[in-house]
Structure 1
Amino acid sequence: MFERLFPRRKRAPQPLPQPNAQLALGALLVRVAFADRNYRASEIGQIDRILAATFNIGPIAAAKLRAICEKLEHDAPDTPEFARILREEVDYAHRLALGQAMWSVALADGHRHEKEEIQLLEIEKALGLTDTDIEELRRQATGEP
């Protein structure tokens, strides 16, 4: 009865923050993990560890950052826009390290998935990595000769 008299109003959604390098990296990590449509706890944990180590923040702050990145990944720019932000703010050597981090997320569940590898390749190319470096990142991550 009270519900009809005083209906609950949905809160207006909070606006998403403007992507910066921190949010762009987190969103791309989430995008890699979501690529196979199976977002596992092992991938979430790996993303949190990468964010904590990269930005020198604690585990709770990393989890909060990841939660924002999950929303941003779902509702915000496409991969090239996130990659552009990182290309502008992160030097090449660190973008290579980002490629390694993304591979660690893709392999965190212990399985190789074609969709994740396709997503990774798109991101690596958008980050401006060379074909040689992309191939080397894949070899290092997968242990292939």
Structure 2
Amino acid sequence: MLRKLFQAFRPPQNASLPDPDAELALGALLVRIAQSDRDYQLEEISLIDRILARLYGHNAIEAAKVRATCEKLHAAAPQTDTFARLIRETTGLEERLAALDALWEVVLADNLEHEGEIRIVADACKAMGLSGKDNDRARDKARQKLTDQLAAQENG
């Protein structure tokens, strides 16, 4: 009887999550970075949606649904390097470099670089088979993009 009482208060079991592909793996890494500072902001959520839309041709609703799935994958998640290895094994160099750029965009979304975020990107970079120079270029590219966006907001 006590068991039935406890089961009544447990949340229902969710349907099983899909096996991640490169898109879901990248999305889960983006969510992991955004949540690593324990301050998952609307700006970061919106940025993840825009990145998924840009890289995979989704409309806004499709991108939000993919991100929601990625949030669940992250919560049930394997290690960062598991997601990154999946990206390495299923995509070419250009896609991996684009993934690294996207990771840095999310790191810099709040204009701060938190140590936990940097560590996740470094681990992902290594597991994706990319170099330190690739990582530095992606960081610089994301910083420049952020600077350009801020300048456009001030001028526009």
Q: Same fold, TM exceeding 0.5?
A: yes
Question: As a proportion of its length, which structure holds more helix?
Answer: 2
Offset at residue 62 of structure 1 (A): 0.5
State the shift of 1:90 in Å: 0.9
Higher relative contact order, structure no. (Cα contacts within 8 Å, ≥ 6 residues apart): 1
Structure 2 residue 129 is the aligned partner of structure 1 residue 121:
no
Q: Which runs of 5+ in 1 are unaligned?
A: none
Query: Aligned pair in 2 of structure 1 residues 131, 9: CA closer, same or farther (>3 Å)?
Result: closer
Paired residue secondary structure (2:110): coil
TM-score (norm 1): 0.86
**TM norm structure 2:** 0.81
Structure 1 residue matching 2:109: 3-state secondary structure: coil
Aligned partners of 2:55 and 2:140: how far apart in 1?
Answer: 23
Please name the residue that 2:136 is paired with. 135
The answer on 1:34 being equivalent to 2:35 is yes
Aligned residues: 138
What aligned pairs does 1:31-110 form with structure 2 within 5 A after superposition?
31-110=32-111
Distance 1:9 1:131, change over 3 A: closer
Change (3 A) 1:16 1:112: same
Task: Please tell me the root mean square deviation across aligned C-alpha atoms, in Å.
Answer: 1.8
Distance, in Å, in 2 between the alignment partners of 1:94 and 1:72 is 21
Q: After superposition, where does 1:16-27 map in structure 2 within 5 Å?
A: 16-27=17-28
